[in-house]
A and B are shown apart, each in its own frame.
Chain A
Amino acid sequence: MTATPRIVEVRRNILKRNDEIAHTLRTRFAEASVSVLSLVSSPGSGKTAFLERTLTALREHYRPAALVGDLATENDAVRLRRSQAPVKQITTGTLCHLEAAMVEQSLQEWNLAELDFLFIENVGNLVCPSSWDLGEEVRVVLLSVTEGEDKPLKYPTIFNTSDLAIITKIDLADAVEFDRAAARANIETVRPGMDVMEVSAKTGAGFDCWLSYLASRRNLQHIAR
Chain B
Amino acid sequence: MHELSIAMSILDSLQEEVDRRACGRVEAVHVRIGALSGVVPEALQSAYEMASAETPFSRARLVIEEIPIVIYCAKCRCQRTASPPAWFSCPECNEVSPEIVSGRELEISSLEVST
Contacts and interface: CB of A to CB of B under 8 A. Distances in A.
Contacts of B106: 13-15, 131
Contacts of B27: 5
A133 B56 CA distance: 29
A192 to B, nearest CB: 4
Interface in B61-107: 84-89, 96-98, 106-107
Interface in B17-41: 17, 21, 23, 27-28, 31, 36-39
B98 A18 contact: no
Chain B interface mostly helix, strand, loop or mixed? mixed
Contacts of A4: 114
Given A6-B114, A10-B17, 18 more contacts: A2-B114, A10-B13, A12-B107, A13-B107, A14-B9, A96-B2, A97-B2, A127-B38, A128-B1, A130-B38, A131-B38, A131-B39, A156-B36, A156-B84, A157-B37, A188-B96, A189-B86, A189-B89
Interface of A: 2-18, 95-97, 99, 127-128, 130-131, 153, 156-158, 160-161, 188-193
29 contacts: A2-B114, A3-B115, A4-B114, A6-B112, A6-B115, A8-B21, A10-B111, A11-B108, A11-B110, A13-B106, A14-B10, A14-B108, A15-B6, A16-B9, A97-B5, A127-B2, A130-B38, A131-B39, A153-B85, A156-B84, A158-B38, A160-B87, A161-B36, A188-B96, A189-B86, A189-B87, A190-B87, A192-B96, A193-B98
